[in-house]
Amino acid sequence: MSSIQHSTFKIQHFLPPILTFALAMAAWESLVRGFDIPLYLLPAPSQVVATFMERPVYLLGIGLATFGNALVGSLIGCGLGCLVAAACVRWPLAADGLVPLSVAASAVPIIALSPLLGIWLGSISPASKVGVVAIMTFFPTLVNVYRGLSSPRADSLLLMRSYAARQRDIFLKLRVPAALPFLFNALRICASLSMIGAVVAEFFGGPQNALGVYIKTQAGILRTAEAWSAIVVACLFGLLFYMAVVAIERRALRWKL
Amino acid sequence: MSDAIIEFDRVSKIYQSGGGPVTALHDVSLSIADGEFIALIGPSGCGKSTLMRLVGDLEQPSAGGLRVRGKTPHQARLDRDYGIVFQSPVLYEWRSIRKNVELPLEIMGQPGPKRHARADELLRLVGLGDFGDAYPHQLSGGMQQRASIARALSFEPAILLMDEPFGALDEITRERMQLELLGIWDGGDQRTTVIFVTHSIPEAVFLADRVVVMSPRPGRVERVVPIDLPRPRSFETREDPRFFALVTEVREGLREH
């Protein structure tokens, strides 16, 4: 909720984290130089940036490929999560069985399924990465959206009953709008989860032009600066995904501002 | 009574709770005339809210007969014969004030421009003409409750059910709202029948044509006090010796049992 409280961008809000980031980078840089840490152990930020600048188009390209898996995976996972959540509201018996299980599943490291999905869907094919992301994002979305759809209080529902409202109207005009803040909460969680899922899934195999594969390969031959430059790209796409969700949230939940 | 709009005939309501059955209402007979303003008063647990909710078909009687406009409460609800105002405003926080007032009209299938005009008309009536575009959280408690009354009146129901609507307001706002409510009620071509549940003796006497005094365990009608104060009532009404006499009479009714 706190992320959408400020309706205007103020430099005061951004200065502290930017300064902290700059300080951390400066400390990293001087540590590496001061202690003469070898490149294969830990490259300085300046070396990482220089490595990135050698082939920015390639790195961003493989970043985009991995991000594509994260995006498609979360669209499938979050979409199915919403549908099943709606079904759970309609059929409470399904909710009794599914929701507690999904809460438990949210706490399970689903990424551990990655090698198995490789067996089932092909370790090189993007389907196995998309699958991991879809499973990872499905459970938190189901749990959050179900809570949101069930969030209207008794009086809000009685009001609809007093109008002799149809089930469809109760769902669309009460439950769905009440669930939106919960949905965006889930989407923000899923934006971070999906990038993790997509990159880590590629550690277990994938096409050559993919972030996870690149990071693993480069790290394997101790080309640490190359690995780091790809990690930076992963961070970049993860951040962009998250910020895009927050931007949509700000528009959709304008009434909260 | 032939012109009765609401007719309770030996109505009882029994809840099944963990500690056995609890009788919320016992053998209540009451006839309410068309256009009458009825106040229901009594201590907590006397079943006054239950009585109101039976009229609204939000709960079902365990025994006895209840007719609303000559129909079952269920049919009356389907015919949208009543509007309801709760103790909390129960506004949908994601809708502007105007959209909240439009909600019942929307559900009843009125076209956009028509319900828009109707909502603005009602907002002016309750003194919120300038706040149609505001969101509920931007308004004070009193203003929110005004919007909630406007919403209940928007589809011109024959009956208005009010469940302690001013219970959460401060004394000063409360007395002003009572006067405004009477102004709206008196102002129309045809008086709406009102059932007004309250904890406050002066409020009941000031507003009503008849005060129904109820007693708890089991909830039943203790006595009915006709209020012969002239209308329109004003701030001076509360200083009338007759007002004090009636307040005393209601208070004594509450003390018996």
**Residue A255 sits at the chain B interface (C-beta within 8 Å):** yes
Q: With a cut of 80, say whether residue B8 has pLDDT above it.
A: yes
Report, as an integer, the average pLDDT of A41-67: 93
Confidence of residue A105 (pLDDT cuts 50, 70, 90): confident
**Are B39 and B107 in the same domain?**
no
pLDDT digits (tens, 9 = 90+) for B78-105: 999 999 999 999 999 999 999 999 999 9
**Are B56 and B163 in the same domain?**
yes
Domain boundary among B102, B132, B156: B156
Contact B80 A164 (CB under 8 A): yes
Q: With a cut of 70, say whether residue B56 has pLDDT above it.
A: yes
Confidence of residue B190 (pLDDT cuts 50, 70, 90): confident
**Are B92 and B205 in the same domain?**
no
**Are B72 and B166 in the same domain?**
yes
Confidence of residue A11 (pLDDT cuts 50, 70, 90): confident
Residue labelled with tokens 């409020």: B203
Of B58, B94, B103, the CB nearest to A158: B58
Q: How far is residue A33 CA from its own chain's centroid?
A: 35
**Residue A162 sits at the chain B interface (C-beta within 8 Å):** yes
Tokens coding B70: 């000559």
Domain of B248, in residue numbers = 4-81+159-255
pLDDT at A9: 64
Asked if B134 and B158 count as a contact pair (C-beta separation under 8 A), the reply is: no
Domain boundary among B156, B175, B206: B156
3-state SS assignment for residue B24 = strand
Q: With a cut of 50, say whether residue A28 has pLDDT above it.
A: yes
Q: What is the CATH number of the domain that holds B64?
A: 3.40.50.300
Contact A162 B78 (CB under 8 A): no
**Residue A170 sits at the chain B interface (C-beta within 8 Å):** no
Tokens coding B21: 């059955």
Q: Chain B interface residues facing chain A, Cβ-Cβ under 8 Å?
A: 56-58, 77-78, 80, 82-84, 86, 88, 90, 92-96, 103-104, 106-108, 135
**Residue A55 sits at the chain B interface (C-beta within 8 Å):** no
User: Which strand (E) or helix (H) includes residue B14?
Assistant: strand B4-17
pLDDT digits (tens, 9 = 90+) for A133-178: 999 999 999 999 999 999 999 999 999 999 999 999 999 999 999 9
As a whole number of angstroms, the distance between CA B220 and CA B48 comes to: 9
Report, as an integer, the average pLDDT of B45-73: 93
pLDDT digits (tens, 9 = 90+) for B162-178: 999 998 888 888 998 89
Confidence of residue A235 (pLDDT cuts 50, 70, 90): very high
Report, as an integer, the average pLDDT of B231-238: 90
Contact A164 B78 (CB under 8 A): yes
**Residue A5 sits at the chain B interface (C-beta within 8 Å):** no
Contact A177 B94 (CB under 8 A): yes
**Are B62 and B181 in the same domain?**
yes
**Are B25 and B144 in the same domain?**
no
- Cβ neighbours of A169 in B, within 8 Å: 107
pLDDT digits (tens, 9 = 90+) for A107-133: 888 888 888 888 888 888 889 999 999
Q: Share the mean pLDDT of chain B.
A: 92
**Are B166 and B185 in the same domain?**
yes
**Are B69 and B124 in the same domain?**
no
Contact A255 B135 (CB under 8 A): yes
As a whole number of angstroms, the distance between CA B237 and CA A197 comes to: 72
**Are B166 and B248 in the same domain?**
yes
Q: Which of residues 85-114 of A touch B (CB under 8 A)?
A: none
Domains, chain A, with CATH or none: 43-252 (1.10.3720.10)
- DSSP, res B46: S
Confidence of residue B25 (pLDDT cuts 50, 70, 90): very high
**Residue A7 sits at the chain B interface (C-beta within 8 Å):** no
**Are B77 and B203 in the same domain?**
yes
% of chain A with per-residue pLDDT over 90 = 71
pLDDT at A104: 87
- Cβ neighbours of A180 in B, within 8 Å: 94
**Cα–Cα distance list, A241 to A251, B22, B53, B95, B168 (Å):** 16, 56, 49, 28, 44
Contact B94 A178 (CB under 8 A): yes
Contact B56 A162 (CB under 8 A): yes
Report, as an integer, the average pLDDT of B211-224: 91
User: What residue type is assigned to position A208 of the chain?
Assistant: Q
pLDDT at B160: 95
ipTM of the complex in this document: 0.91
Q: With a cut of 80, say whether residue B189 has pLDDT above it.
A: no
Tell me how far apart the terminal alpha carbons of chain B are, to the nearest angstrom. Answer: 28
Number of domains, chain B = 2
Domain boundary among B156, B178, B200: B156
**Residue A47 sits at the chain B interface (C-beta within 8 Å):** no
**Are B146 and B178 in the same domain?**
no
**Are B251 and B166 in the same domain?**
yes
User: What residue type is assigned to position B117 of the chain?
Assistant: A
